[in-house]
Amino acid sequence: MTQETISTKAVITPAEMLEHWQGHRRLTRRVIEAFPEKELFSFSVGGMRPFSELALEMIAMGMPGIDGMLTGKWSTFEAIYEGGRPTTKEALLALWDELTEKLNRLWPEIPAERFHEVDVAFGQYEGTIQFTLFYFVDNEIHHRGQGYVYLRALGIEPPPFWDRA
Amino acid sequence: MTQETISTKAVITPAEMLEHWQGHRRLTRRVIEAFPEKELFSFSVGGMRPFSELALEMIAMGMPGIDGMLTGKWSTFEAIYEGGRPTTKEALLALWDELTEKLNRLWPEIPAERFHEVDVAFGQYEGTIQFTLFYFVDNEIHHRGQGYVYLRALGIEPPPFWDRA
């Protein structure tokens, strides 16, 4: 049985999933870029966090999350904050791009079986690896959608949702 | 080779994916419920659509979308609007629940191979079925995240994002 035949039992294969995640991350990067520097770190609606904090949460999940998914060793979710928060758009985007490269580098090492193992993400959240993985991606989509409202409230046209190039 | 062994090449299997989607849909249903009747159909931020319209878009994708994913026959995306828009929360939730049952009924009939076939969704959007499927789910998460901002701007605590029960 070939690899291709085997993978037809999947809704989405590991290779497709990496592209799915990185496609979303390319869009989120454009949303970060769309914010004026000041508003990125200060503007919000309804008492919520500014978009810089939402983007940093995405990085805070993904940066140790890819290690945990691969190895089963989870550092704390808060690790990313220990070096201090980025205070410029450029520094935030540099962290973003660092994670992009890290995902591309480590993802292919995850055995496909691993996605169905139960683990305790960050030592706190029990579930299969696929559940945790989709939590990362869905949390990004959720908060990015909030960023779209912030941009609209600022009178800025957000990048198109359908464009993941 | 058993079904179980085969499915380990998946990040997410068809059965897991249905639960994933319906879990998100259960949360979105609670977001609809959290809006006061009037604000559901009228309130927005930054000139965007009210949450009733965002929820109706989700139904407008899913209701004909599940037929298209299963059969390859796509009615128009606009079909849901032809009978007139629901004008009460109760009517919107009734449509929501109709789709919940339809997904549970038809999903198991989709052959797993189908998710990797290329099709033209609604006669307009070319891609694999998994791409189109994730577009439906991700579009829901995206717009629901916007609904969270509307609720916060109204001073209403949204339901917790992590609860999909």
pLDDT in tens, A88-119: 999 999 999 999 999 999 999 999 999 999 99
Confidence grade of residue A57 (pLDDT, cut at 50, 70, 90)? very high
pLDDT at B52 over 90: yes
Q: Which of A13, A144, A151 sits opposite B11 (nearest CB)?
A: A13
Chain centroid to Cα A128, Å, comes to: 18
In angstroms, the separation between the Cα of residue A141 and the nearest Cα of chain B is 5
Confidence grade of residue B80 (pLDDT, cut at 50, 70, 90)? confident
Q: Residue written as tokens 């989120």?
A: A28
Determine if residue B116 is labeled as part of a ligand binding site: no
Using a 10 angstrom Cβ sphere, with 0-12 exposed, 13-18 middle and 19 or more buried, the burial of residue B158 is: buried
Q: For a pLDDT cut of 70, what percent of chain B falls above it?
A: 95
Kindly list the domain boundaries of chain A, sorted by start residue: 24-107+116-153
Q: What is the pLDDT of residue B39?
A: 98
pLDDT at A66 over 60: yes
Q: What is the pLDDT of residue B83?
A: 78
**DSSP state, residue B109:** G
- Coil, strand or helix at A154: coil
Q: What is the pLDDT of residue A9?
A: 82
Q: Domain B13-108+118-153: which topology?
A: Four Helix Bundle (Hemerythrin (Met), subunit A) (1.20.120)
Confidence grade of residue B1 (pLDDT, cut at 50, 70, 90)? very low
Q: What is the pLDDT of residue B3?
A: 43
In angstroms, the separation between the Cα of residue B133 and the nearest Cα of chain A is 9
Architecture per CATH, domain A24-107+116-153, reads as Up-down Bundle (1.20)
Is residue A137 within 8 A of residue A21, CB to CB? The reply is yes
Q: Which of B130, B138, B161 sits opposite A12 (nearest CB)?
A: B130
Average pLDDT over residues B43-70: 96
Q: What is the pLDDT of residue A2?
A: 42
Task: Using an 8 Å CB-CB cutoff, list chain A residues near B48.
Answer: 149, 152
Q: Which of A17, A138, A146 sits opposite B11 (nearest CB)?
A: A17
Residues 6+ apart with CB under 8 A from A93: A29, A32, A33
Point out the annotated binding site of A.
143
Q: Residue written as tokens 């089963």?
A: A72
Is residue A149 within 8 A of residue B149, CB to CB? The reply is yes
Task: Using an 8 Å CB-CB cutoff, list chain B residues near A6.
Answer: 6, 9
pLDDT at A7 over 70: no
Integer Cα distance of A41 and B110 in angstroms: 45
Residues 6+ apart with CB under 8 A from B5: none
What is the chain A residue with the closest CA to B157? A46
Confidence grade of residue A78 (pLDDT, cut at 50, 70, 90)? confident
pLDDT at B5 over 80: no
Q: Which of A7, A133, A141 sits opposite B145 (nearest CB)?
A: A141
Q: What is the pLDDT of residue A76?
A: 79
Tokens of B145: 């995240």
Question: Any idea of the CA torsion for B16, A124, A144, B20, to the nearest 10 degrees?
Answer: 10
Task: Using an 8 Å CB-CB cutoff, list chain A residues near B149.
Answer: 45-46, 48, 146, 149-150
Taking an 8 Å cut-off on Cβ atoms, the answer to whether B11 and A8 are in contact is: no
Beta-bridge mates of residue B121: B125
pLDDT at B140 over 70: yes
Task: Using an 8 Å CB-CB cutoff, list chain B residues near A152.
Answer: 45-48
pLDDT tens-digit profile of A115-160?
Answer: 999 999 999 999 999 999 999 999 999 999 999 999 999 999 999 9
Using a 10 angstrom Cβ sphere, with 0-12 exposed, 13-18 middle and 19 or more buried, the burial of residue B126 is: exposed
- Coil, strand or helix at A127: strand
Is residue B153 within 8 A of residue A46, CB to CB? The reply is yes
pLDDT at B6 over 90: no
Task: Using an 8 Å CB-CB cutoff, list chain B residues near A150.
Answer: 149
Q: Which of A139, A154, A161 sits opposite B142 (nearest CB)?
A: A161
Chain centroid to Cα B134, Å, comes to: 10
Taking an 8 Å cut-off on Cβ atoms, the answer to whether B14 and A11 are in contact is: yes
In angstroms, the separation between the Cα of residue A78 and the nearest Cα of chain B is 18
**DSSP state, residue A55:** H
Point out the annotated binding site of A for a divalent metal cation.
143
Residues 6+ apart with CB under 8 A from B160: none
pLDDT tens-digit profile of B88-129?
Answer: 999 999 999 999 999 999 999 999 999 999 999 999 999 999
- Coil, strand or helix at A128: strand
Q: What is the pLDDT of residue A41?
A: 98
- Pairs across A and B, CB distance < 8 A: 137
